[in-house]
């Protein structure tokens, strides 16, 4: 049997980690004391091992070490000169500062963010799309309530699981986080809404959990436009109430100009002027109330901005479905955070490779193909652009073969 037409001199995993810069990673580790008292298991080996584990969706340290042992002859391609054992990897996850992996992710995001910009829905022509940022959080359940405080009622057993909340900001159409922070699941989402992080002209889409009158007023003063869902319990002073119909006459909106007041601890009073836009969602068959400080844009544009918030929900779904975040390789805060950072790095690298393909693949399909062929000597881009090439060649050879 002839060789595959996709044959390559290095495993697919080598093509993945070529997007990384070994020298920069080791420099980041040295600056953050990650190489102190280290003889062989440096930050590069640590990162490559953890990336291998999350891409392969391994569930334990034993599974990682045994899997690497089976691939021993291929590790030299990865720049790994020592076989990572369970104890070595466990110690590294507990001791090497998670700040190193945060810095690596930030460096990779800055390098590749332009490649990740997608216009699959033809929305980049919208004047607000390039300035749109989306903020939300997702909670990852943990095995214990000791490290990160859980949220919700205590179960009947009295044993309440903990949870780590991943607060995330993404730029629209990039599909990867631009800013990430970790807290316990019990932390209120408004923690992440920091007006100083946004500048004049930015557009912000968020859920109603981020409503804080003082912060919303600060955003307005900084020239930042926000769109969020209205809370039913909010009280306000109504100044104007009218109906608006788009030029096509297809949908009517109720528009209310209102003022919210909030008393401060120092005795002061904050007055925040905003607009409430109500419309009927045709899919959910219910009235949706949106709150915004944009007093001029057409209502359908405000609704369109809020609908873009769904991009961050798709990101959370993508990460949780394609990477192992139900099981953790360590029980310390540091180990848990390292695994999440490495998962974000893996997600970013695969999305960069996806953007370089001529053939369109779903992320789930691409992640599956990478996992199945990770240590195969195959040209990733050749295989993914023409996955049926070898099969078609086999059919052709069988058709043209002389009868026996």
List, for residues 137-194, the tens digit of each pLDDT value: 988 887 554 444 544 555 555 555 568 889 999 998 888 999 999 988 888 888 888 9
Average pLDDT over residues 293-321: 92
Determine which of 94-103, 153-162, 257-266, 360-369 has the lowest per-residue pLDDT on average.
Answer: 153-162
Residue 81 parent element (H or E): none
The whole-number pLDDT of residue 250 equals 61
- Comparing CA positions, the residue from 378, 371, 377 lying closest to residue 54 is 371
Average pLDDT over residues 80-85: 81
Residue 283 has pLDDT above 70, yes or no: yes
SS3 content of the chain, % helix, strand, coil (to 5): 45, 20, 40
Assess whether 260 and 334 both reside in one domain: no
Mean pLDDT of the chain: 86
Q: Cα 354 vs. chain centroid, distance in angstroms?
A: 15
Strands 252-263, 237-245: parallel, antiparallel or unpaired by DSSP? antiparallel
Indicate whether 282 belongs to any domain.
Answer: yes
Assess whether 345 and 292 both reside in one domain: no
Average pLDDT over residues 89-108: 94
Average pLDDT over residues 272-298: 90
The pair of three-digit structure tokens given for residue 243, joined into one six-digit string: 């109906």
The whole-number pLDDT of residue 154 equals 52
H helices present in 57-97, as ranges: 61-70, 86-95
Contacts of 58-66 with CB under 8 Å at 24 or more apart are: 58/324, 59/324, 59/326, 59/327, 60/327, 60/329, 61/86, 61/89, 61/90, 61/329, 62/86, 64/89, 64/329, 65/89
Average pLDDT over residues 95-114: 95
What sign has the CA pseudo-torsion 27, 333, 102, 196? negative
Indicate whether 204 belongs to any domain.
Answer: no
- Comparing CA positions, the residue from 358, 240, 230, 370 lying closest to residue 295 is 240
Assess whether 30 and 85 both reside in one domain: yes
Per-residue confidence band for 6, with pLDDT thresholds at 50, 70 and 90: confident
Q: How far apart are CA 122 and CA 321, in angstroms?
A: 27
Indicate whether 368 belongs to any domain.
Answer: yes
DSSP letter string over 263-305? Answer: E-TTS-EEEEEEEEEEEEETTTTEEEEEEES--SS-HHHHHHH
Mark which of 281, 297, 313 sits at the end of a domain: 297
Per-residue confidence band for 277, with pLDDT thresholds at 50, 70 and 90: very high
Mark which of 297, 313, 343 sits at the end of a domain: 297
Assess whether 24 and 88 both reside in one domain: yes
Indicate whether 401 belongs to any domain.
Answer: no
Q: How far apart are CA 200 and CA 173, in angstroms?
A: 20
Instruction: Convert the pLDDT of each residue in 18-58 to its tens digit.
Output: 999 999 999 999 999 988 887 888 999 999 999 999 999 99
- Comparing CA positions, the residue from 28, 163, 20, 166 lying closest to residue 98 is 28
Indicate whether 32 belongs to any domain.
Answer: yes
The residue whose two tokens read 């569930």 is: 59
Write out the residue range of the structural domain in which residue 293 sits: 226-297
Instruction: Convert the pLDDT of each residue in 379-399 to its tens digit.
Output: 999 989 988 877 777 777 677
Residue 357 has pLDDT above 90, yes or no: yes
Number of structural domains (the chain) is 2
The whole-number pLDDT of residue 71 equals 83
Indicate whether 122 belongs to any domain.
Answer: no
What is the layout of strands, in order, in the sheet containing 237-245? 177-184, 163-171, 132-141, 203-206, 225-229, 286-292, 269-281, 252-263, 237-245
Q: How far apart are CA 368 and CA 318, in angstroms?
A: 12
Average pLDDT over residues 250-276: 84
**Whole-model pTM?**
0.88
What sign has the CA pseudo-torsion 377, 380, 382, 386? positive
Q: How far apart are CA 331 and CA 348, in angstroms?
A: 25
Assess whether 280 and 339 both reside in one domain: no
The whole-number pLDDT of residue 1 equals 47
The whole-number pLDDT of residue 120 equals 52
Indicate whether 196 belongs to any domain.
Answer: no
Percent of the chain with pLDDT over 90: 49
Assess whether 83 and 24 both reside in one domain: yes
Q: What is the CA radius of gyration of the chain?
A: 25
The whole-number pLDDT of residue 72 equals 82
- Comparing CA positions, the residue from 328, 334, 317 lying closest to residue 54 is 328
- The DSSP secondary-structure symbol of 21 reads -
Three-state SS for 193? coil
Mark which of 280, 297, 314 sits at the end of a domain: 297
The whole-number pLDDT of residue 48 equals 93
- Other residues' Cβ atoms within 10 Å of the Cβ of residue 281: 11
Indicate whether 303 belongs to any domain.
Answer: no
Average pLDDT over residues 80-86: 82
Percent of the chain with pLDDT over 70: 90
Assess whether 83 and 25 both reside in one domain: yes
More confident residue, 341 or 261: 341
């Amino acid at each position: 049997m002839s060789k595959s037409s996709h044959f390559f001199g290095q495993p697919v995993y080598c093509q993945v980690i070529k997007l990384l810069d070994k020298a920069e990673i080791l420099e980041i580790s040295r600056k953050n004391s990650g190489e102190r008292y280290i003889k062989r298991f440096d930050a590069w080996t640590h990162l490559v091992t953890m990336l291998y584990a999350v891409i392969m969706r391994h569930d334990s340290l034993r599974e990682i070490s045994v899997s690497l042992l089976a691939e021993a002859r291929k590790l030299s391609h990865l720049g790994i000169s020592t076989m990572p054992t369970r104890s070595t990897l466990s110690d590294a996850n507990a001791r090497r500062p998670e700040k190193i992996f945060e810095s690596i992710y930030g460096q990779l995001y800055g390098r590749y963010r332009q490649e990740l910009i997608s216009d699959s829905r033809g929305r980049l022509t919208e004047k607000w799309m390039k300035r749109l940022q989306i903020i939300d959080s997702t909670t990852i359940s943990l095995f214990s309530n000791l490290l990160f405080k859980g949220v919700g009622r205590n179960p009947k057993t009295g044993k309440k699981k903990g949870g780590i909340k991943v607060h995330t900001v993404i730029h629209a159409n990039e599909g990867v986080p631009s800013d990430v922070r970790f807290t316990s699941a019990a932390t209120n989402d408004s923690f992440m809404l920091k007006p100083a992080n946004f500048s004049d002209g930015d557009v912000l889409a968020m859920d109603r959990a981020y409503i804080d009158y003082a912060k919303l007023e600060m955003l307005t003063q900084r020239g930042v436009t926000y769109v969020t869902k209205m809370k039913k319990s909010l009280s306000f002073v109504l100044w104007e109430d009218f109906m608006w119909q788009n030029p096509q006459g297809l949908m009517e909106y109720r528009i209310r100009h209102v003022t919210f007041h909030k008393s401060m601890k120092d005795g002061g009073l904050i007055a925040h002027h905003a607009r409430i836009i109500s419309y009927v969602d045709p899919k959910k068959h219910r009235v949706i109330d949106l709150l915004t400080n944009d007093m001029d844009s057409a209502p359908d544009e405000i609704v369109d901005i809020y609908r873009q918030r769904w991009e961050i929900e798709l990101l959370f779904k993508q990460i949780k479905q394609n990477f192992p975040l139900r099981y953790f390789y360590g029980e310390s805060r540091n180990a848990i955070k390292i695994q999440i950072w490495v998962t974000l790095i893996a997600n970013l690298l695969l999305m960069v490779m996806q953007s370089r393909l001529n053939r369109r693949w779903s992320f789930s399909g691409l992640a599956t193909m990478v996992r199945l062929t990770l240590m195969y000597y195959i040209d990733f881009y050749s295989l993914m652009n023409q996955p049926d090439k070898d099969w078609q060649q086999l059919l052709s050879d069988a058709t043209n073969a002389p009868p026996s």
